[in-house]
Chain A
Amino acid sequence: MWIKGGLIVDPASNIQEKADLYIKDGIIAGIYPGGSQKSDEMVIDASGLWVLPGLIDMHVHLRDPGYEYKEDISSGSLAAAAGGVTTLACMANTDPVNDNPSVTNYILDKARQVSKVRILPVGAVTKGLKGKELAEMGLMKKAGIVAVSDDGNPIEDSSLLRMALEYASTFGLTVMSHCQDRNMCASGVMNEGALSSLLGLPGIPPISEDIMVARDVLVSQYTGIPIHITHISTQGSVRIIELAKHRGVKVTCDVTPHHLLLTEDRVRTYDTNAKMYPPLRNEADRLSLIAALKGSLIDCIATDHAPHARDEKDLDFDIAPFGMIGLQTLLPSIMKIHLDYGIDFIRLLACVTAHPARIFGIDGGEIKEGSRADITLFDPEAKWIFTEQDVKSKSKNSPFFGQEFTGRVVQTIVQGKTVYSGN
């Protein structure tokens, strides 16, 4: 199969040039910058399109097993494919929790049967995500997990976090940490500040995140073991991570598209689609995240795709669950950040390709001879409005409905096979 006439954008090799790609047996078999000879094989005309390495989303909730009414491996993978995401890491907060190899095997077996994209499970750090006893990280690693995280349930016990880092590194696994001092959040449902007081909603103070980010980098520094902080949202987190990186701490982090593009202002109408953890913060926080992205302080962009059923989201703001879907708006959001803030597209693209691949220690996320033929074709000019009808997930909870985007995924290819075709 050929992909001809497109502009190859590959952060790993820092290449942006027109070239034809030849794909054979699910592998990129050849890259021809000068164009290529005729052939009888199938040709995809990519003229006017950008040819990108398939995206890697480090932080997704597939809800399978246990909450298949919100999403399952099949529907989640469809949403990923439609978003140009060819690899995703799914979090362990399922029912049962992915804290042992049989759950890992279930996910991978089902993925082999129904998934359009590559699914890499993230195992739990502690049994049942309870923050008490370490989970079977080694056996889960053998079964196929790429990282460990108690996402959704912050590890409160600092000694346990230290053990988790040391134990995980024994098996070559990275810990992804969800930073939240629960006691400081109490019943909070939105960013704490003048707006939460105006709306009468309990606040989540930014410092409840900062404190845990600070603790995590200190534990990482003390043990010398890398840690990945997921979904940072505050100026404080940015400053702490900046300081830590300058001092050589092996800390990496990701940010979500919604924290880069939206603020707490979106909560004014009590729209529960704008209720997520961490909460949307204020404009100063948002701009500090943009600046950190610009300064390459933030390593990755991940969606924290968190499907919830309509009846759950239709509850009061105080009670409705935290989270929004994000797989299909990931790449358009990145394009918007590129256009609005003048950050090179290729650098932003690295945050969803080469960087997550490096942190997980996996192949993919690049376009080079011999690598996986995971390719996303992207029309950089297409203007479109994201609506509920576009959603491939089982759940339709997004604050981006009605948002106009520039740039749209046209076709998604996983190991040489087309798994999504737009038009």
Chain B
Amino acid sequence: MTWPYKDLIAIHDLKREEIATILDMASSFKEISKRDIKKVPTLRGKTVVLLFYEPSTRTRLSFELAAKRLSADTTALSASGSSFTKGETIMDAAYNVMAMAPDCIVVRYPYAGIPRKMAQLLPCSVINAGDGYHEHPTQALLDMFTMKERFGTLDGLRVAIVGDIMHSRVARSNVYGLRKMGARVVLVAPKTLLPPGVDTWGVDVSAELDPVIPDADVIMMLRVQKERLNRQFFSGDREYSFFYGLNRARVEKMKTDAVIMHPGPMNRGVEITCDAADSARSMILDQVENGVAIRMTLLYLSLGGSVNVD
């Protein structure tokens, strides 16, 4: 069986079985990174271009390592965040990159929709590494993989996602994915940070964090984006931490085997205190480790790999 898509743009596009396939396959790819020689020849001769129009450390490094461990050639291009509106448009940049015959473009972009457009217009594979506050599909897949590794299944898992849901592509991708996999999701945020139409998402919503904690298997904290403050979404760090921050007292109320996740980068002391971030419950570095495996899986599948791999 071959993978039906050349691109990965949104979790919203994937079926439950397809997500399950990715999560299953990721385990075998994860094993490669544990070897002494962390490289297989699977994508030898393929070129992967990383087009990052927004700052990124984790995601970019993760994609680059994933491609290299599969023997693909990689090259990374980052544009300063402010010049692209005046200079070359993103689509011109994409056509120029395409002229150099890459097999896959991994793109991160500050606005929604560009990866979708590139996927439609370019013959190569396009993988969305985060576009505006639309989606960040590989992040959700690595989060789901981490949860599945820990709990065995996503079915019936109770996941709380806490913070700026409105402006979070991570939250969107996770909600779509987790819902398809049978998890129960509760979103926790002040009403100013909930997206319009959240009532159609099939999730629970809570304005308070404390009542949610004792039931959650996973508590996923989102980064507080301080640049949102000037739009009056909330009053400040102090009040935010008081009501929505994960601290020691809240960690102590979690279920025995419940875990803490965070897509990074963290604002220690704002949405998460050091003792929560560094506690034994924290899966934050497991997420990062699993990111490489998930991205190897997707590069492999998007570049024409067969689904029945071992």
Contacts and interface: CB of A to CB of B under 8 A. Distances in A.
Interface of A: 186, 192-201, 203, 205, 269-270, 311, 314-319
A194 B200 contact: yes
A270 B197 contact: no
A204 to B, nearest CB: 11
Nearest to B132: A200
B112 A194 contact: no
B135 interface: yes
B91 interface: yes
A198 B172 CA distance: 8
A199 B172 CA distance: 10
Given A200-B134, A200-B135, A316 B113 contact: yes
Interface string B159-174: 0000000100100100
Interface residues of B, number: 27
Nearest to B194: A197
A201 B85 contact: no
Interface in B103-155: 109, 111-114, 116-117, 120, 131-135
Nearest to B91: A314
B200 A200 contact: no
A321 to B, nearest CB: 12
Given A200-B131, A200-B133, A200-B169, A316 B196 contact: no
A193 B89 CA distance: 28
Contacts of B197: 193-198
A200 B172 contact: yes
Interface of B: 12, 85, 89-91, 109, 111-114, 116-117, 120, 131-135, 166, 169, 172, 195-198, 200, 231
Contact of B114 (A198, A269, A316): A316
A200 B12 CA distance: 12
B172 A314 contact: no
B112 A200 contact: yes
A315 B231 CA distance: 25
B89 A270 contact: no
Q: Which of A186, A192, A195, A198 has the most CB of B within 10 A?
A: A198
Contacts of A195: 197
B113 A201 contact: yes
26 contacts: A192-B196, A193-B197, A195-B197, A196-B196, A196-B197, A197-B172, A197-B197, A198-B12, A198-B197, A200-B131, A200-B133, A200-B135, A200-B169, A201-B112, A201-B113, A205-B196, A270-B112, A270-B113, A314-B89, A314-B91, A315-B89, A315-B90, A317-B111, A317-B113, A318-B132, A319-B85
Nearest to A272: B113
Contact of A199 (B91, B134, B166, B198): B134
Contacts of A192: 196
B83 to A, nearest CB: 13
B112 to A, nearest CB: 4
Contacts of B12: 198
B89 A199 contact: no
Contacts of A194: 196-197, 200
B53 to A, nearest CB: 10
